[in-house]
Chains A and B, each alone.
Chain A
Amino acid sequence: MRLIISTLAAIGLSAVFAGDVRADAAAGKAAFEAQKCTGCHYADGPAREKSIADQLAKKGPELWYAGSKFKKDWLNAWLQDPKPIRALAYNSLTKKNAGDHPKLSGGDAGNMTDFLMSKTSSEVKAGTIKPKKSLKGKSIFNKKMPCTGCHQSASKKGKVSGGLSGPTLVGASKRLNPDWIYAYLKNPTHFKPFKAMPTFAGLLKDKDLKNVSKHVSKLK
């Protein structure tokens, strides 16, 4: 009998917690709309862009798969202290990123993180990529393919180099979900139908897409 009561209590408690999480995500959704985040970001998938013009009309990146793309702790911290991820303003090749993304308080950031982490894509399969050193991935990233032409990364000694048109990959290990990196390399147009990055799927073997994903997921 005691066992039944404890089990029921445990079920009840977990339901309360689950309710809390939903409540936070709901509060985050309300804050997302109230703070006019929707002016620059859309958070309902699937991808909406039907042309290059559609992509260029966006003021900020789409967030409908944010929960599959980002790591939760990073997102929560970034929303409270947003440092530019791109050297250039979104969709611009001439304007610098002004670094003026709105900052959120701890409470709002937590709620919004819960909301954004609930936005996932079924294309991203958990546990596909285990972040670990990949010499093959490193060689493809740095030498065989043009990744460094558009993305910055840091060497072991911390020297940052690379192009400016793509998002920086300095700190990618803290920011990006390794499984998302692979899913994006494998089927990029599912996430971004029109993107300035070349499609490498079909040019690189699947094994090498995984090697590059491992390498990027270790970048500090």
Chain B
Amino acid sequence: MKKMIKITLLAAVFGLVGLMNTETAKAAGAAETFKFYCAQCHGLEGKGKGPNVTKDFPVTPRDFSNAKEMSKLSDDYIRGIVMDGGPSQSKSPLMPPWGKTISEADVNGLIKHLRGICKCKGKAG
């Protein structure tokens, strides 16, 4: 019986370590996803100053480091605008619809990444 408990505990500890590794891998993936797709307009630091934002760029991309503004946005709003594009939330069509490009799981990772940049939580709903 004692042996069984030991084995179960060991399995649980290894399971937990495995889970932590997955989460770490996910976090690294979100940073890479952000850099590859979003930084073109939002900038590598997420401050809305990517290389596409020239003097001709007609809108100001969201500054993700602005905690005050970011905390007004719910995670669902961000998910919607990333997947379906700016016009789906009455914003500029220059925010592309990424729904056919980035998986929903990766978009969820991106939202966590953005919350890491603003160091803020979104409003509920």
A contacts, CB < 8 Å to B: 52-53, 55-56, 87-88, 93-94, 143-146, 148-150, 161-165, 194, 196, 198-203
User: Across the interface, which residues of B come within 8 angstroms of A202, CB to CB?
Assistant: 100
Given the known A-B contacts A88-B51, A93-B50, A164-B52, are A146 and B57 also in contact in the complex, defined by CB atoms under 8 Å?
no
CA distance A143 to B85 in the complex (A): 13
Which A residues lie within 8 Å of B80 (CB)? none
How far in angstroms is the closest Cβ of chain A from B98?
Answer: 6
Contact B32 A163, beta carbon cutoff 8 Å: no
Q: Say yes or no: B41 contacts A163, CB within 8 Å.
A: yes
Summarize B's interface: helix, strand, loop or mixed. loop
Could you tell me if A201 and B100 are in contact, using CB atoms closer than 8 angstroms?
yes
Q: Report the minimal beta-carbon distance from A80 to chain B, rounded to whole angstroms.
A: 29
B7-15, B66-74, B88-96, B113-121 - interface stretch:
B88-96
Chain A proximity of B90: nearest CB distance (Å): 15
Verify B36–A165 contact, CB threshold 8 A.
no
Q: Contact check, A53 vs B32: say whether CB atoms are below 8 A apart.
A: yes
Structural contact, B50 and A146, CB atoms closer than 8 A? no
Q: Does B101 contact A (CB under 8 A)?
A: yes
A163 touches B99 (CB 8 A): no
Q: What is the CA–CA distance of A201 and B85 in the complex, to the nearest angstrom?
A: 14
B40 beta carbon closer than 8 Å to chain A: yes
Instruction: Kindly list the 10 A-B residue pairs having the minimum CB-CB distance in the complex, ordered from nearest.
Output: A163-B52, A199-B100, A165-B40, A198-B96, A161-B56, A146-B96, A149-B94, A199-B101, A146-B94, A198-B101
